[in-house]
Chains A and B, each alone.
Chain A
Amino acid sequence: MITSILLIISWIYILIGIFGIFKFKNLFYRILSSAIIDTVASLTILISLMFYIKDISFILKIILLILFILITNPISNHVIVRSSFLSGITIKKGDNDGNTR
């Protein structure tokens, strides 16, 4: 029951995250939408797999994988943003219909 609900929630997150990459015109908005939604989709899928299999070693491995994703995914997104900011990409005034401020 919990598995079905969490998997159906994760479909919505994955599809919105893919749609957000192609929609925005600025680089930082694309990285923001991708980073947030990707983390939440991976968390919902892995927690739903924890309730599906009743095996203690598999559950421990899933918990290790969740900790690994929670540590490394924000670091890699931050490294991409830092590299692009130091190379001279800034937010222009007219991107995305003036909603930059």
Chain B
Amino acid sequence: MLLLITLYILALAMLTSIIKLIIGPTIWDRLLALNILSMKTILFLSIYAVYTEQLYLIDIAFSYGIIGFLTITLFSKFIGMGGRQK
């Protein structure tokens, strides 16, 4: 029962971070919202693997973590070098 309420709270946090990703004033706010979204995806997949007793789903959480980390570092490097202007 507590795992189900945690799933609902994580889904609400993902929805509000998507709102922040749309209305963010600067582009670094959008990167921040993307970081929160990837971290909440890892937690959502881990709790869902325990809730439905399909324990192999924890491996997919690893791949989502690696994809999120590479996305954040490469986008930050690309924006810090000047984006499409240089």
Residues of A within 8 A of B (CB): 3-4, 7-8, 10-11, 14-15, 17-18, 21-22, 27, 30-31, 34, 38, 41-42, 45-46, 49, 52-53, 55, 58, 61-62, 64-65, 68-69, 72-73, 75-77, 79-80, 82-84, 86-87, 89
Pair A38/B36 contact, Cβ less than 8 Å: yes
Pair A65/B62 contact, Cβ less than 8 Å: yes
A21 to B16, CA, bound (A): 10
Dominant secondary structure of chain B at its interface with chain A? helix
| A-B pair number, CB within 8 angstroms | 115
9 new A-B contacts, CB < 8 A, other than A27-B29, A42-B39, A61-B59, are A15-B9, A22-B20, A27-B26, A31-B28, A42-B43, A65-B46, A65-B65, A80-B76, A89-B28
